[in-house]
Amino acid sequence: MAMAQADLEGIYRAYIACLNQQDWSRLGQFVHDDAIHNDRRIGLSGYVDMLKRDFDEIPDLSFNVQMLVSDSRYVASRLGFDCTPRGTFLGLPINGRRVSFAENVIYEFLDGKIMQVWSVIDKSAIEAQFLF
């Protein structure tokens, strides 16, 4: 159990490093072929597409793990972001301004890979930084 926990935390931190390196060729090491993201079965290819789109819309995107809780099956983390979305983000007209926000996200692992993701981004915190 303790072993499995250490494993998932290590795998998760390597996954985050992979995202920050935008090394999409290695994402299959961390994400299951049939991965589900917020109840949509997007699979590994849809997962890569989603991340490429994120980096296209936010060129200085960087994932920072602020907090991490794990057991033998799940990882929960709080990710911090400090970045400048080019246009709209979550439907908000950011247009190149700097924003700081957090994402609380829970991952279910299967065979050492992310099988399901439940992600919530703190949209209210972004709205509080601007007058829209």
- Rounded CA separation 31/97 (Å): 31
Asked if 27 is part of the footprint of a second copy (rule: CB under 8 A), the reply reads: no
53, 24 in Cβ contact below 8 A? no
- Rounded CA separation 86/88 (Å): 7
- Which residue bears the tokens 């400090």? 82
Asked if 121 is part of the footprint of a second copy (rule: CB under 8 A), the reply reads: yes
Q: From the list 83, 104, 115, 129, which residue makes contact with a second copy (rule: CB under 8 A)?
A: 104
Asked if 6 is part of the footprint of a second copy (rule: CB under 8 A), the reply reads: no
Question: CA geometry: angle at 65 spanning 22 and 114, to 5°?
Answer: 65
- Rounded CA separation 110/35 (Å): 10
48, 28 in Cβ contact below 8 A? no
Q: From the list 3, 91, 96, 111, which residue makes contact with a second copy (rule: CB under 8 A)?
A: 91
Asked if 120 is part of the footprint of a second copy (rule: CB under 8 A), the reply reads: yes
91 or 96: CB nearest a second copy = 91
Where in 53-72 is the site for a second copy (CB under 8 A)? 67, 69-71
**Where on the chain is the footprint of a second copy (CB under 8 A)?**
1-2, 5, 67, 69-71, 74-76, 78, 90-91, 102-106, 118-124, 127
